[in-house]
Amino acid sequence: MPATNVLDTKSFCFVDLRQAMPELPEIEALRQRLAPSVVGRELLSITILKSRLIRPRIASDLNAALEKALIVGLDRRAKYLLFTLVDRQSRPQTLLLHLGMTGRLSWIANGDFIPKQTGALFFFESQSLVFEDVRQFGRIGICGAELDELGPEPLEAAFTSEVLQTRLAGSGQSIKTLLMDQTRVVGIGNIYASESLFLARISPFRPAKFLQSGEINRLHASIRDTLISAIDRNLRATELGGFPFYYSPNGKAKSVESPPEFNVYGATGRPCLSCGTLIQKRIQLGRSTFFCSACQV
């Protein structure tokens, strides 16, 4: 049976206003907001407008595999959305969707104007889910071996401080670099690596192998606290139409006034909320790293 909790065609969109790749909290918030409107519905067809998004299949193969399939679940693995479907031959299929750096999803009524940067359209009865991707770093496809090399999920019970220590052990790389390595632990990018290290009072430039067990324990707790808080913040922001999710009725993204969202990320020159020392920015392997030189050692 089709889901009864269907969102209004203009009421929901994922927009990353920070112009940074969405991380675990953004994808998880999107999953929770999107699931009630797709699970239990029949996916009539898929139209691909930007073939670069399809890997490795061609668009016609993807549509043939999933045409008139029933969506029975929506999950997340790392930064991927995973749509579980049952096709016309009652076979399970998993559609993988990665937003890349600039991807976003929104609803339109069938027959309405299609946004300029639309890469794919997922057609349902009366509505279509639009996938826009300006830079085309996103990905759509049938799930295969893409997830095999990924590390553990940081919010699962199995992810203990001992697991984190094992994942970091022996590496001379900086701790921030390792936290962003999706084969070590998934879902953490530039934003939440910086935030987690600040809460743990650990310098982002420290070699991972030199961290003590007490520091690992603090880092483990700060990762979980940071991600859980960010998921909650993103969910509340979508409900209120605020930062970082907002999509105005005329289709233009904008932000709203809000208190500082992050302790250090993007806060260069602002006094540290803990000690008053000015937050610094340094380029680390091509990415901006934000930190407090007094709190993080």
23 is known as an active-site residue: yes
Instruction: Tell me which of 22, 154, 204, 244 is the catalytic residue.
Output: 22
Q: How far is 290 from 272, CA to CA, in rounded Å?
A: 11
- Going by C-alpha positions, the residue among 255, 294, 240 that lies closest to residue 11 is 240
List strand residue ranges (DSSP E) for 53-207, in order. 69-77, 80-86, 92-98, 103-109, 118-123, 127-133, 139-142
270 is known as an active-site residue: no
239 is known as an active-site residue: no
* 8 Å CB contact between 235 and 29: yes
- Burial level of 199, CB count in 10 A (0-12/13-18/19+)? buried
- Report CA dihedral (51, 54, 57, 60) to the nearest 10 degrees: -50
79 is known as an active-site residue: yes
Instruction: Tell me which of 23, 26, 28, 195 is the catalytic residue.
Output: 23
Distance of CA 29 to the CA centre of its chain: 8
Instruction: Tell me which of 33, 76, 79, 218 is the catalytic residue.
Output: 79
- Report CA dihedral (54, 188, 152, 239) to the nearest 10 degrees: -80
Q: How far is 172 from 117, CA to CA, in rounded Å?
A: 42
- Catalytically annotated residues: 22-23, 79, 287
